Amino acid sequence: MQTFTLYYSSPLGKLKMQCTSEHLSALVFTEDENEAEQDHPILQQCTRELNEYFEGGRKAFTLPLKQHGTPFQSKVWELLLKIPYGKTISYNELSKQYGDLKAIRAVASANGRNNLAIIVPCHRVIGSNQSLTGYAGGLWRKKWLLEHEAKFHSGVQTFGF
C-alpha cells in the first residue's frame, strides 16, 4: 500500500503527515524532513483542517483516520476522540471509561503510542491532580495546545500548570 508524505509547519514546529489512499495514518512532530513529499487530497484536507484549528476556528477534525495498533490501543484512541475540545480528563478517568481502572498504566501507554497528534487529542489527558504529564511531543507543546483550546473554547476552563 502506497504511503504519501507531506510536512506541515505549525506554530509548534514541523509535523509529518502521512496517509494511504484512504486514511490519514500519521501526524507526528519531527525535526527531520528526510522523506520526499508526495501530495494527496487527504494531506491537503489535513493541511486545511490544521490551519483552521490553529486559527481557532476548527474544534473537530473530519479526516478519515486509521492508525495501526492492537485492539486495546484502538479502543483507547477511540475514547480519546470523545474528549471534547477545550476539556481535559485524567488518565484515571480514561481508564474508567475504558472499563478497567486497573489498566491505568496500559491506558497511559496506549495514549502515548497515539500516532495522530492533535487530531486524536491525547494532549487532553492530564494527571489526576491537574498536572501536565507525558506527551510525546514534549510537555511545552501539550501546554500550548491546552491553552490554545481554552482560549477558543466557549466555556471557561483554567489550568493549574
- Segment 28-42 shows an average pLDDT of 90
Q: State whether 38 and 86 are in the same domain.
A: no
**Is residue 80 in some structural domain?**
yes
Residue 54 parent element (H or E): helix 41-54
CA of residue 4 relative to chain centroid, distance = 19
Are 19 and 46 in the same domain?
A: yes
pTM of the model: 0.90
Identify the active-site residue in 12, 107, 119, 122: 122
Q: 50 and 81: one domain?
A: no
Confidence of residue 138 (pLDDT cuts 50, 70, 90): confident
Number of domains in the chain: 2
Q: In the predicted model, what is the mean pLDDT of residues 29-39?
A: 87
Q: Are residues 96 and 148 in the same domain?
A: yes
Residues 27 and 75 both lie in one domain: no
Residue 157: how many other CB atoms lie within 10 Å: 11
Provide the residue range defining the domain that includes 49. Answer: 4-54
Tens of pLDDT, residues 55-73: 999 999 999 999 999 999 9
**Is 19 noted as a catalytic residue in this protein?**
no
* Per-residue CA distances from 152 to 16, 53, 97, 102, 160 (Å): 25, 10, 26, 35, 18
Chain centre to alpha carbon of residue 109: 14
